[in-house]
Structure 1
Amino acid sequence: MTFDPKLAEIRFGTGLSPVRAAPASTDGMLRRLQGPDAMAARHPIPRFETLIPALTEFFEQSRLLRQKRGSEEAKAAQKRIRALRKAGRENQQLYLNATLRRAAGTEDGLRERLTRFWADHFTVKGKQGILIFSAATYVEEAIRPHLTGSFAALLKSAVTHPMMLAYLDQVNSAGPTSAKVKKQGGGLNENLAREVMELHTLGVGADYSQADVRQLAELFTGLSYDPRKGFLFRPFFAEPGAESVLGQEYGGGQPALADVHAVLDDLARHPATARHIATKLATHFVADTPEPALVDHIAAAFHDSGGDLMATYGALLDHPAAWDPRLGKARQPFDFVAATLRALDVPGKQIEALGPKDTGLYLALPMQVMGQSWEAPVGPDGWPEAEADWITPQGMAGRIQWAMMVPGLLRPELPDPRAFVDTALGGTASDTLRFAASAAETRAVGIGLVLISPEFQRR
């Protein structure tokens, strides 16, 4: 393996910076990852639990609107609901702003990239109310604190989180012979169980059956949340009796959250999970079609360590295939914008000063045009990885328009394009690009040409 500091920052970090040194070794990258989370402290995003007062008020105002329809009370409730939604939309833009500030200013790029990777692996999307605007708070609470522990801990944190339970319609899932169904009706929902097996752990094509999905869904009954309280385990909804998943029995006594944790622990340590996670890591960080030897190496580290994430990351970083100098991955729109802000050294205060409105105008809307709407993936499998999904005519048109117009607004004093070629690309620029940057009529055009170059689109 030949470690390359600049390649490390491009492939495993958030891009090259003119003022922040690239990592000196893989050991240094891993040590920093285990250290204090400086960017979270500097650019805070609230955790989901802080939303409970607003969620409670939204719930109560919605109830009042239904019960007092047509009255003055209902009109006041409707006005308050609109205000809560407006605040939620503004907060969503502020969370994007903070996330970009972290990526642009970090000296721990691997942490930011892993946060986005796992947030996508455990995709959630708010479906109603102010949950629509709250995915970043889920990431802050369920994902980011668990990046360096065990996969089992991360899995349990994400799968049992209120945002996940709401997104996959688990909230009202009730066992077929539960007290809830007997007394009030209702039924079983298999969405969460299916996605846990298919997307979060074993992977598509693993050796499990529909019967396993159904038994897992029955074991999951009881997982719920109340907007006024947060997560709840409700035995009233839970299916009584033992459930068999992959030949192992769980439960059988009084329904309990511990039974759910037990099955998630076992799924986390399953050999198929090791291969699924290894494949996704190698595909996300290294190549759309990674070398089988790299996947085998990561899967072995995951399996042999019992799902220890630091051992898994170490295996990713210490394999020679991870340091192939060819840039084989397309930067997704978020990564493209973040790498631009970083390469231009746009100050965090300058980004923060955009506020919610201009963040939407200059950052969120352009990302949407490029093909990636903030916190709105199409389905629970998250964003696609293949280059063909991102380097499209419409997507490139969006990148070109943004690169030619917005950087100069965010940093009026643009650098010399002749120097920026190396600042942004670290020596990977072609002679053709160097000539184009040096011959540009204005700095803005020169910078734009570098940003839209094939070299900058890849990592």
Structure 2
Amino acid sequence: MFDPVLAEVRFGCGLSPRVAAPDGVAAMLEGLVAPDVMAERFPIEDFETFRERMAEKQRLAKFVKKNRETEEGKATAKQIKLMQRAAREDWLKWMAAHISRRVHTATGFRERVVFFWADHFTATGKNGLIRRATSPYMQSALRPRVAGRFEDLLVEAVTHPVMLQYLDQARSTGPNSPATLARPDKRGMNENLAREVLELHTLGVGGPYTQGDVRQLAELLTGLTFDAENGRKFSKGWAEPGAETVLGKTYGGGKNAHFRDIEAALRDIANHPAVAGHLARKLVVHFVSDEPDEALVASVADVWRESGGDLMAVYGALLEHPAAWAPERRNFKPAFDFMASACRALDMPHEAMVGLSEAEFRARMQGPLSMMGHVWQKPDGPDGLPEEDAAWLTPQGVAARLQWAVTVPQLMLAELPDPRGFVDVALGPDAPEAVRFAASAAESRADGIGLVLASAAFQRV
């Protein structure tokens, strides 16, 4: 059942010429709780540090507003622009760090799981410096919790400042709250976060909830906000008075609204029986097949319910089921998985990416990724990236992969590997003979490497 090549290709970050594949499911699971070597080696700023940037920019902006026409005000305005530029440059460096973690990791399943949950809890800032905070959000809120309990992950992700801004929760006020009654023309409630919690994050589209549940959860969430100085906070004057009933259970209603009421509701929602089926299917579709084996989905869902959302037990159920190791490669790699696994097969040095200018990095990495269909950390909506193969198997996307595979590796590496040997590195010992022949017959090393990376055998997991 267990196949080390399939383990790296389907559940990891791809084959590497230097890093050995795991020797079993136990090793893959252990990698989720082992010391986080990749985070230390290729650091990404934590959100608390990033929030300090936001607070400093806010302080500087207030000074500029009061001193706009003075020399000090003009100098401070330039300082703000430099802060914005630094955040933009770091945003791209963090993309390079994400790729390098995949290139060098011996625990590829961990990197893949982090990205699965980052996509499930899609969030990005809409304006100001927080637009660049998605990687810090992933680093601080998600990465430390992917091997814990789902309810903890849900609470942290849903109440995080990046999520609050992304889904317009940060300024949501109860219809009968003091804030709304004082300024009804400026204040009001937003249901976006409540709807996505039920529809996307937990119960799923068509799940056992009503519009009434959405409305009541939205009222419960009022008051949940953040500021740059303090991060997440709860403003009682913004909260809707009284009790709210969500999925048949009542929360709040005491003298004072409190964040603990929101947390209690989220934990109860996380443990609703319907969550297991929705997320078990999503995990199987993501890692194994767009047309999932129903026995595999049922097995993962059963363990989810029995364990109360213990994610380590859930991953174990996924990896220990025979259907997860079916030899047929049924899923097409999403664009970032393709690019990162290609860099891993090429053993791309981190210095080759971070040594580029911003323009060069955009031209060689971020821009081509967009052409492949993945605009880096600028999602079309809260449902994240598409899972279905058809979304990635577009003429433009496939052409962009081929162009990148032929042109960029030779720009990034001092010397390309021999394509004849690279076939085994990238595809393993069972590489199709047609790919071997194409690699050996290529007119140049760049063409040979490109043909291997663009082959169906490399694209499918």
TM-score when normalising by structure 1: 0.97
Q: Which amino acid aligns with 2:138?
A: V
- Looking at structure 1, the residues matched to 52 and 26 of structure 2 have their Cα atoms a distance apart, in angstroms, of 43
- Looking at structure 2, the residues matched to 275 and 87 of structure 1 have their Cα atoms a distance apart, in angstroms, of 43
Report what 1:150 is aligned to.
Answer: 149
1:406 maps onto 2:408 in alignment: yes
Report what 1:99 is aligned to.
Answer: 98
Of stretches 348-357 and 32-41 in structure 1, the one that deviates more from structure 2 is 348-357
Question: Per the alignment, in what secondary structure is the counterpart of residue 325 of structure 1?
Answer: coil
How far residue 64 of structure 1 moved from its aligned partner, in angstroms, is: 4.5
Report what 1:306 is aligned to.
Answer: 308
Q: Which amino acid aligns with 2:304?
A: F
How far residue 49 of structure 1 moved from its aligned partner, in angstroms, is: 0.7
Report what 1:8 is aligned to.
Answer: 7
Report what 2:321 is aligned to.
Answer: 319
How do 1:106-121 residues align onto structure 2 when only pairs under 5 Å count?
A: 106-121=105-120
CA contact (8 A) 1:425 1:455 kept: yes
CA contact (8 A) 1:91 1:356 kept: no
Report what 2:453 is aligned to.
Answer: 451
Which deviations, in whole Å up to 9, do the C-alpha atoms of 1:365-417 show, x marking residues without a partner?
11011111110110000000111111111111111111111111222221111
- Looking at structure 2, the residues matched to 195 and 295 of structure 1 have their Cα atoms a distance apart, in angstroms, of 23
Report what 2:339 is aligned to.
Answer: 337
Could you tell me the percent identity over the aligned residues? Answer: 51
- 420, 423, 426: which one aligns with 1:421: 423
Q: Which amino acid aligns with 1:237?
A: W
Report what 1:29 is aligned to.
Answer: 28
> Structure 1 residues 34, 355: CA separation in 2 closer, same or farther (over 3 Å shift)?
farther
Question: Per the alignment, in what secondary structure is the counterpart of residue 243 of structure 1?
Answer: strand
- Looking at structure 2, the residues matched to 327 and 33 of structure 1 have their Cα atoms a distance apart, in angstroms, of 24
Report what 1:217 is aligned to.
Answer: 218
How do 1:344-359 residues align onto structure 2 when only pairs under 5 Å count?
A: 344-354=346-356, 356-359=358-361
CA contact (8 A) 1:169 1:191 kept: yes
Report what 1:232 is aligned to.
Answer: 233
CA contact (8 A) 2:96 2:350 kept: no
Q: Which amino acid aligns with 1:192?
A: L
How far residue 221 of structure 1 moved from its aligned partner, in angstroms, is: 0.9
Of stretches 407-416 and 55-64 in structure 1, the one that deviates more from structure 2 is 55-64
- Looking at structure 1, the residues matched to 70 and 274 of structure 2 have their Cα atoms a distance apart, in angstroms, of 57
Of stretches 47-56 and 258-267 in structure 1, the one that deviates more from structure 2 is 47-56
How do 1:132-281 residues align onto structure 2 when only pairs under 5 Å count?
A: 132-185=131-184, 186-253=187-254, 254-281=256-283
Question: Per the alignment, in what secondary structure is the counterpart of residue 226 of structure 2?
Answer: strand
CA contact (8 A) 1:120 1:382 kept: yes
How far residue 356 of structure 1 moved from its aligned partner, in angstroms, is: 4.0
How far residue 355 of structure 1 moved from its aligned partner, in angstroms, is: 5.4
- Looking at structure 2, the residues matched to 14 and 219 of structure 1 have their Cα atoms a distance apart, in angstroms, of 40
Report what 2:286 is aligned to.
Answer: 284
Question: Per the alignment, in what secondary structure is the counterpart of residue 53 of structure 2?
Answer: helix
Of stretches 76-85 and 254-263 in structure 1, the one that deviates more from structure 2 is 76-85
- Looking at structure 1, the residues matched to 169 and 351 of structure 2 have their Cα atoms a distance apart, in angstroms, of 40
Stretches of structure 2 lacking an aligned partner (at least 5 in a row): none
Q: Which amino acid aligns with 1:27?
A: A
Q: After the TM superposition, which parts of structure 1 deviate over 4 Å for at least 4 consecutive aligned residues?
A: 64-74
- Looking at structure 1, the residues matched to 259 and 308 of structure 2 have their Cα atoms a distance apart, in angstroms, of 22
Q: What's the RMSD between the two structures over aligned residues? A: 1.5
Q: Which amino acid aligns with 1:6?
A: V
How far residue 58 of structure 1 moved from its aligned partner, in angstroms, is: 2.3
How far residue 71 of structure 1 moved from its aligned partner, in angstroms, is: 5.7
CA contact (8 A) 1:58 1:129 kept: no
Q: Which amino acid aligns with 1:297?
A: S
Of stretches 322-331 and 2-11 in structure 1, the one that deviates more from structure 2 is 322-331
Question: Per the alignment, in what secondary structure is the counterpart of residue 236 of structure 1?
Answer: helix
- Tell me the number of residue pairs that the alignment of Structure 1 and Structure 2 aligns: 458
Report what 1:432 is aligned to.
Answer: 434
How far residue 321 of structure 1 moved from its aligned partner, in angstroms, is: 1.2
How far residue 243 of structure 1 moved from its aligned partner, in angstroms, is: 0.6
How far residue 349 of structure 1 moved from its aligned partner, in angstroms, is: 3.3
Report what 1:51 is aligned to.
Answer: 50
Which deviations, in whole Å up to 9, do the C-alpha atoms of 1:225-277 show, x marking residues without a partner?
01122111111111121110011011111211111111111111111111111
Question: Per the alignment, in what secondary structure is the counterpart of residue 314 of structure 1?
Answer: helix
How far residue 69 of structure 1 moved from its aligned partner, in angstroms, is: 5.5
- Looking at structure 2, the residues matched to 81 and 351 of structure 1 have their Cα atoms a distance apart, in angstroms, of 27
CA contact (8 A) 1:26 1:317 kept: yes
Question: Per the alignment, in what secondary structure is the counterpart of residue 290 of structure 1?
Answer: coil
Of stretches 109-118 and 408-417 in structure 1, the one that deviates more from structure 2 is 408-417
Which deviations, in whole Å up to 9, do the C-alpha atoms of 1:89-114 show, x marking residues without a partner?
10110100111110000000000000
Of stretches 359-368 and 160-169 in structure 1, the one that deviates more from structure 2 is 359-368
